[in-house]
Amino acid sequence: MSSQIAAITNVKTGAISEAVYEHPFIVRLCHWVNAVALLILVFSGLQIFRAFPSFGAKIPQKDLLHWPKAYALGGWLGGGLQWHLTFMWIYIGTGLLYIGYEIFSRNYRQVLFTPRDIRGVWPMVHHYFFFGPEPYVREAYNPLQKLAYTSAILLGILSVITGVAIWKPVQFSWLAWLMGGFHWARLWHFAVMWAILAFLFGHLVMVVLHGWNNFVSMVTGWKKDPEYL
């Protein structure tokens, strides 16, 4: 990995610190636009779900859960659909741009979880959850991070595929068929949303734990004083 490194001389004290350019512009742009789109899709999706909060038959209807109107976007089903069918294009667009960029720039090596990362997962879990020693990591992302981000990207792809299956169950009937039919496709789409929200929760906890410099790196690209240099 040929990341750019900056050796920064403090103009007042003369002390030297270092920073690494971790996140290229396209990655940061896609991250933030996609984050906004994701939140809008979740809350407009819950509005759509409210119209028939069940995965069984209409008659008799057994509601799965009552989602409060105050936590749904769009005001009513039609409004929720307008938000959903608008931002799905932004979500798909940033997703494709991101994946295309990662492949083209070969930046995917920073993110993609590969078999050689398997060994490093347990030590990270041991460290985070059971107060184990902090493993030595030489890259921007540790193996557990790679696993989390790779899973999140896969979930993003799944959210689009399951969404297309319920948006166009006739034109893409083979997609709905793959998921076990229209009923199941709707359930999968809902389940994938919760899986993405579970990732988001863990992601936000880690952002808080890892501090300001780490957060800034997703804004400006530069990470000051990284642990791994």
Residues at the contact surface with another protein, assessed by CB under 8 A: 2-12, 19, 25, 28-29, 32-33, 36, 40, 48-49, 51-52, 54, 57-59, 61, 77-79, 81-83, 85-90, 168-171, 173, 182-183, 186, 216, 219-222
Residue placing its CB nearer to another protein in the complex, 60 or 115? 60
> Least distance (Å) from another protein to the CB of residue 199?
21
> What string of DSSP letters covers 79-147?
HHHHHHHHHHHHHHHHHHHHHHHHHHHTTHHHH---GGGHHHHHHHHHHHHH-PPPPP--SSS-HHHHH
Residue placing its CB nearer to another protein in the complex, 34 or 145? 34
Q: SS3 for 76? A: coil
> Least distance (Å) from another protein to the CB of residue 90?
8
Backbone angles phi, psi at 10, to 5 degrees: -70, 125
> Least distance (Å) from another protein to the CB of residue 226?
13
Amino acid identity at 107? N
Q: 19 pairs with which residues across the strands?
A: 6, 224
Residue placing its CB nearer to another protein in the complex, 65 or 115? 65
Residue placing its CB nearer to another protein in the complex, 52 or 108? 52
> Least distance (Å) from another protein to the CB of residue 10?
5
Backbone angles phi, psi at 222, to 5 degrees: -95, 130
State how far the Cα of 67 lies from the Cα of 52, in Å rounded to an integer: 11
Residue placing its CB nearer to another protein in the complex, 11 or 209? 11
